[in-house]
Every structure is written in structure tokens, then in C-alpha cells.
Amino acid sequence: MTAHSVRLLLVLVLAAGCSTPAVPDLSPATWQTDYDDFMAAQLIDRTTAGVATGANGAVTVAYNGLAARAGLEALKQGGNAIDAAMTTALTQVALTAGAPISYFGIMSLVYYDAASGAVHTMNAEWNTVRGEDDPMSIPGGVDLTTPEGIYGTAVSGRTALVGGFLKGVGAAHERFGSLPWPQLFAPAIHVAEEGMPVSRKMAGYFEARRNDLARLDETRATMLRPDGSPYAEGDTFRQPALAETLRAVADAGTDYMYRGPWAEKLVAAVQAEGGRMTLEDLAAYEVIWGEPLRAPLGDFELVTNRPPNNGGVAMIEAHNIALAAGIVEDGLWWESPDALRKALDATQLGYIDRLPPATLEMVYPGLEISSESRVTPEYAAQMWARIEAGARLTQWAPPSEPRHSDDVVVIDRHGNVAAITHSINAVLWGKTAIVVDGVTVGDPGSFQQAQIAATEPGARLASPTETGILLRDGQAVLGFASMGSGLHQRTFLGLMGVTQYGMTVDQAINAPDFFLPRIDPSTFQTTFRVIAGQFPAEVLDGTGYG
């Protein structure tokens, strides 16, 4: 498979022809018929992943097909993979009202440059706040015992961290982009200004957060109807303040957000809620470019982000443990109870880096658990032996009766591949629900107090996002990105299907899967979760797990 015919492991793929106008114009006014069609498609709930191929480029997303069509327009008008990926991501945020993703959220990027064969990684994720000297006292948390508690438990400006999304967009474009910077914003501005129909899912978001969205004047004016009620399915939702902010960033660059008028308003809003963020925090923010983390996966080489993004480490660790367990010899995980059990066990360690060293030493005495060791086959063999002997951080419950982010993967006609994951890293706007000139500010600090305490003030917070590219013989053959409830587990299964079971991308993305398990906070028993009807009952029961 050549780089030019690469197929992308995600949900919606669009094939692209290419023409280069004298002056690029990505405004949907130049592709109005497609804009209307794709906007209508935003209202449809998908149940399967779509796959397509293209000779001159393709764009794929986890959500928001209209955003992918905007990225496709960037390719059609002579842009490259970075132009298309960033255009898509910017449009995605506008299409979601900044609920699961945000212009002040986080981004990770893995980029394959076809001309040189080099792979570049960029971390534009959270910085901690320099003045936060007692992270363990940051209010908040998630209470899984009540429906309301899922959405957070406390309001505080201290839960806001310094996001790098727009810094990342700017840095990626400056280094690799080719289209004029303002053009990347044209589709998002159009969406914000002209408005969009509220889908059933979006109406549910507004309803679930109606009280939190009503708490602050600016948030209420931005996110609720003039009478204070939540937008309902079929309403038109417009974001005029956001359109003005995006125009300002398109004109002045990212300094508008990190050193200019928006930064001043953000700091005032956060401090008014008890936060400790300052203009210095924003001005000091820089993305981190680095060499990728690499690991062999069968006939492929996986390239992904290095720490402080820990998702790549977790991904490699899970694959190595599964192979040490002999998962392939047991057959397909939806046909073999043993294969499913091993897949569940292999993915249980994805967030092990968040646990205190004393806890790890108690459960796995004498085993070195570090970012360096976790990516080695030797560690995997030792860890699997411990798991088989009963050493587990949580115990699977016995058998019983029966938040998302977004991603973009792009390839252009030259074979360049850009894979990005971005998120607000909070549950639907966050409990504090701050909005500044149309831009949403999440509360990621409300559930990461221990991780913030383990990070130097003003430094980069560790992140679990999993973004990367598979190479074969030095050429990119597949890009992937994942975040949300299937973050670690779904990425593992998709890549395992392609690299170890010989599946096509079509087969891998539609294979039965499982998601982040549910942990009972009172007993610490773990229950794995699957989509109803995907697995035979005898396979589920045969694992011995609930």
C-alpha cells in the first residue's frame, strides 16, 4: 500500500479531487450545496463507521462530517494535510458549541512528512497554573453514584488549566501549512455566524447543563435562549461572539488569545470564580515539538507522542502485554473467551501512570514501572506473569445479568499524513461553565488534582490521548486518533486487528469492541462494557468477568 492510497482508521472519510484557485477561499459560500447537505447530515445518529478511499487525498473524523467537508475544501484548493486537519478541527469546535471540544482545549499531533519520511509530534496540551500551590484542594470531582454527579460536584475557577489548542493550530500551520492563515477559520466563522440546527444530541447537552449554563451572565447569553431556557431540537443556534473572536484570531494570530484582549478577559473571568490563572500563565505557553516514540507492531512500526503525553506509552504497553499473553493464538476476541479476557486484562493498565508509586509497589513488588520500561517486551512478559498470578489493580466483578472529544486524520495528494486529537477534557463545558467571548473554558482540574500535584506549576500536565501513525517500510499506511469513552480500549482493538490479525481497516473499525470499564467506587470491582448484541453470550460468560 502506497502512502498515496492510505486508508484511514476513523469514522467518516471523504475522497478529494484537487484544483488550486488563484486566491483560496474556504468559505462555505463557495461550496454551498455540499454545506447544506452536510449540515443536514449532522442531525443523523450513525451506527456504523464509514470507509472510503481517494487518489488525491482524504479527510476523516470521529464526529462532525461537515467539518471533514471543510477540511476537504482545503485540500481541493491546494492545501496540504496540515491545512486540512486544522481547518477541520477549528470547524468541529464551532459545530459542537464548545461542549466536548474547545478553542481553549488541548491538542496532540503526529505528522508524517512524505518528502523526507520524517515524523514530527506536537504536544499542545494542558499547562498547570503557576500560582496553584495546593492542587489537592482544588474543588470538584465526579460522583458516579448519581446522575447529576457525573456532570461535576463543585464550581471553581481553580479547575481551569491553560489550554493549547489554538497555539497548536498556529504552530502547526506556521511550520507546515501552505494556505493563508485566515482561510483556515472561514468555515468555523460561517458556522458560528449563520447558525446551525440543534440536533437531538446537542439538545440533550443543553438540557443536561441548563442550570450550570444559566449561572454566569455571559454563559447564559451565549448558550441559552433569550428567555433562559435551553435550546431544543430543531432550533437554530448562533454564536455571534465566537465569530468575532475567531475573526480576531484570524487577523491577529494566536497572540490575541494568549497575550491580547481575550487573554485579559479570560484571566478576569477565571479569577472572579476563585481561580489563580494570570496573564503570565498564558503568555508563557508554548507547544512542545519532539521526536516520536517508536515501537514495532508486527510488520508495522508505530509512531506516536512521547511523554508527557502518556497515551502512546499505554498503547504500546497494551499491545506488548497482549502479545506476551498469546492473544492471537486464541483467535478473535469476539469469538474466543480467552482472547477477550486477555484483551480486557491488557488494556486495564492504561492509566497506571496516575497511581502513587507506593500503590504500584504494593501490587507489583519489585517491578520497574516507568515510561521507559512500559514500552519494552521484557516488562510486558513480567507484567503478564503477574496478572496471571492474580496481581491486579482492581478485580473484575463476577458475571451478572445482563463523554466524547474529537479527532481528525488527513492525507493529502503528496502522501503527507496529519493525525490529531483534541478535547475540552471535561464533561460538556464543565461544571463551572465559563464562556469568554464565545470561547468555552472547561474544568479539567476538577478531577486531576493528583496529576496536577505531581506536575511542576506552569509545566505540562501528563495526558492520556492516543494519536499516531503506522509505518510499513518507512511509509505511512494508516493514521489514527482517539479520545473519549473508547480512548484506550478502542485504539488497542483497532490497531491489534490491523497489525496482528491481518484485518483491513474496514474490518478493524467495525469489529466488536469494548469500552472504558465501570469501577464501583465502594468495592473497586470492575465491570467491562460492550455494545449490546456484538458479542455472543457464551463468549462474554466464558471470560469469567462481569
Q: Dihedrals φ, ψ of 125, to 5°?
A: -105, -165
Rounded mean pLDDT, 267-294 = 97
Tens-digit pLDDT profile for residues 62-106: 888 899 999 999 999 999 999 999 999 999 999 999 999 999 999
CB atoms under 10 Å from CB of 484, counted, come to 18
pLDDT band at 127 (very low <50, low <70, confident <90, very high): very high
pLDDT averaged over every residue in the chain: 89
Indicate the Cα dihedral angle 266, 272, 278, 281, nearest 10°: -60
Model-level pTM greater than 0.75? yes
C-alpha cell read off for 290: 519532539
Percent of the chain's residues with pLDDT above 70 = 89
C-alpha cell read off for 298: 508486527
**What pLDDT does 448 receive?**
92
Tens-digit pLDDT profile for residues 285-315: 999 999 999 999 989 999 999 999 988 999 9
**What pLDDT does 115 receive?**
95
Rounded mean pLDDT, 36-57 = 79
Q: What is the gyration radius of the CA atoms in the chain, in angstroms?
A: 22
pLDDT band at 5 (very low <50, low <70, confident <90, very high): very low
Q: Which of 215-219, 354-358, 516-520 has the lowest mean pLDDT?
A: 516-520
Rounded mean pLDDT, 396-408 = 54
Q: In terms of C-beta density within 10 A (0-12 exposed, 13-18 middle, 19 or more buried), how is residue 318 classed? A: buried
SS3 per-residue string spanning 64-116? CHHHHHHHHHHHHCCCCHHHHHHHHHHHHHHHCCCCCCCCCCEEEEEEEECCC
Q: Dihedrals φ, ψ of 452, to 5°?
A: -65, -40
Rounded mean pLDDT, 241-261 = 98
Residue 52 has pLDDT above 80, yes or no: no
Distances (CA, A) of 425 to 99, 326, 403, 429: 10, 35, 9, 9
Tens-digit pLDDT profile for residues 333-365: 999 999 999 999 998 888 888 888 888 888 889
| Residue with the larger pLDDT of the pair 520 and 375 | 375
| Residue with the larger pLDDT of the pair 12 and 376 | 376
Which of 476, 460, 457 lies closest to 468 in space, CA to CA? 476
**Secondary structure class of 334 (helix, strand, coil):** coil
Q: Dihedrals φ, ψ of 113, to 5°?
A: -95, 110
> 155: which strand partners?
none
Cβ pair 209, 259 in contact under 8 A: no
Residue 489 has pLDDT above 90, yes or no: no
**What pLDDT does 20 receive?**
58
pLDDT band at 522 (very low <50, low <70, confident <90, very high): low
Which of 333, 524, 418, 363 lies closest to 112 in space, CA to CA? 418
Pairing state of beta strands 106-113 and 118-124?
A: antiparallel
Listed ranges 53-62, 183-192, 469-478, 529-538; the one with the highest mean pLDDT: 183-192
Distances (CA, A) of 444 to 128, 149, 283: 10, 15, 20
Cβ pair 128, 106 in contact under 8 A: no
Please state the domain extents for the chain. Answer: 3-289+420-458, 293-403+475-542
Integer Cα distance of 543 and 420 in angstroms: 34
pLDDT band at 532 (very low <50, low <70, confident <90, very high): confident
**What pLDDT does 41 receive?**
87
**What pLDDT does 152 receive?**
83
Q: Which residues of 185-201 are buried (b: 16+ CB within 10 A; e: fewer)?
A: bbbbbbbbbeebebbee
Integer Cα distance of 137 and 71 in angstroms: 42
Rounded mean pLDDT, 121-147 = 90
**What pLDDT does 8 receive?**
38
Whether the bond between 308 and the residue before it is cis, its omega within 30 degrees of 0, is yes
pLDDT band at 374 (very low <50, low <70, confident <90, very high): very high
Which of 425, 326, 336 lies closest to 384 in space, CA to CA? 326
